[in-house]
Chain A
Amino acid sequence: MSTQTMETAGMVKMTGQQAVSAALFQAMAEDSRVLVFGEDVADREGGGVMGTTKGLSAKFGDLRVRSTPIAEQSIMGAAIGAAMAGYKPVAEIMLMNFITVAMDMVVNHAAKLRFMSGGQSQVPIVIRTLTGAGWQTAGQHSDHFEGWFAHTAGIKVVAPSAPADYKGLLLSAIQDPDPVLFIENSRTLFVPGEVAADQGPIPLGKAKVVQDGRDVTLVTYSGMVQTCVAAAAELAKEGISAEVVDLRTLSPWDKDAVLASAEKTGRAVVVTEALRHFGPGAEIAATIQEELFGRLKAPVRRLGAPYCAVPFAKALEDAYLVQPADVMAAVKGIMR
Chain B
Amino acid sequence: MSQSTGTNVPRPDAAAQLDIYRRMLRIERNDDATRAQIRRGRITAPYYSARGQEVIPATISHLLTDDDKICTIYRGIQDMVAKDMPLRPLWAEICGRVDGTCKGKGGPMHLTHPETGVMVTTGIVGSSMPIANGFGWASLLDGKKHVTIAYFGDGASNIGAFHESLNLASVWKLPVIFVCANNGFAEHTRYENGTSVDFIARRAIGYGMPGFTVDGNDPFDMYAHAHAAIARARAGEGPTLLECKTFRFMGHVFGDADGYMTKEEKAAAVAADPLPAFRQKLIDSGLASEAQLAQLQAGLEAEVQDAIDFAFACEAPDVAELRRDVFAEEIAA
B135 touches A82 (CB 8 A): yes
Decide: A116 near B171, CB < 8 A? Known: A78-B133, A108-B124, A121-B120: no
Tell me whether B164 and A71 are in contact (CB under 8 A): yes
What distance in Å separates the Cβ of B177 from its nearest Cβ neighbour in chain A?
A: 14
Q: Within the complex, what minimum Cβ distance (angstroms) separates B314 from chain A?
A: 13
Say if the beta carbon of A141 comes within 8 Å of chain B.
no
Which of A64, A109, A118 contacts B131 (CB under 8 A)? A109
**Contact across chains for B141 and A77 when beta carbons are under 8 A apart:** no
- B102–A116 touching, CB < 8 Å: yes
Interface bits A152-166 vs B (CB < 8 Å: 1, else 0): 011010000000000
Q: Is the CB of A142 closer than 8 A to any CB of chain B?
A: no
Whether B160 is near chain A, meaning CB under 8 Å from some CB there, is yes
In the complex, the answer to whether A81 meets B327 with C-beta atoms within 8 Å is no
Q: Which residue of B lies closest to A35 (CB)?
A: B141
Interface residues of B in 128-153 (CB under 8 A from A): 129-142, 148
Contact between chains at B120 and A120 (CB < 8 Å): no
- B142 to chain A: which residues have CB within 8 Å? 85
CB interface residues, B 150-172, toward A, < 8 Å: 160-161, 164-165, 167-168, 171-172
Proximity bits, A107-126, B CB within 8 Å = 1, else 0: 01100011111111110000
Q: In whole angstroms, what is the CA distance A171 to B143 when docked?
A: 27
Known contacts A74-B133, A104-B127, A118 near B101 by CB under 8 Å: yes
Instruction: Give the contact-size bracket for chain B.
Output: 35 or more
Tell me if B122 counts as interface (CB < 8 A to partner A).
yes
Given the known inter-chain contacts A71-B167, A77-B127, A78-B168, please indicate yes or no for A119 contacting B133, CB distance below 8 A.
no
With the chains together, A254 CA to B62 CA distance in Å?
52
Docked pose: A71 CA to B169 CA in angstroms: 12
Q: Give the number of residues in A that approach B within 8 Å (Cβ atoms).
A: 42
What number of A-B contacts does a CB cutoff of 8 Å give? 145
CB neighbours of B164 from chain A (8 A): 69, 71, 73-74, 77
B256 at the interface (CB under 8 A from A): no
Q: Which A residues are in CB contact (< 8 Å) with B141? A: 35, 63-64, 82, 87
Cα-based distance from A86 to B134 in the complex (angstroms): 11
- Is A84 interfacial (CB 8 A cutoff)? yes
- B134 near A120: Cβ-Cβ < 8 Å: no
Q: Is A79 an interface residue (CB 8 A)?
A: yes
B103 within 8 A of A: yes
Check if A77 sits within 8 Å of B130, measured CB to CB. yes
Q: Does A178 contact B (CB under 8 A)?
A: yes
A85-B138, A109-B120 known; 6 new pairs, CB 8 Å cut-off, are A74-B133, A78-B134, A81-B131, A82-B138, A85-B135, A104-B161
Q: Which 9 A-B pairs have the closest CB atoms?
A: A81-B134, A77-B130, A85-B138, A118-B103, A118-B102, A74-B164, A117-B112, A177-B328, A119-B325
A-B contact pairs, 17 of them (CB 8 A): A71-B168, A77-B134, A78-B131, A78-B137, A80-B130, A80-B131, A80-B134, A81-B119, A101-B160, A104-B161, A109-B131, A117-B106, A121-B112, A121-B114, A153-B326, A177-B327, A178-B327
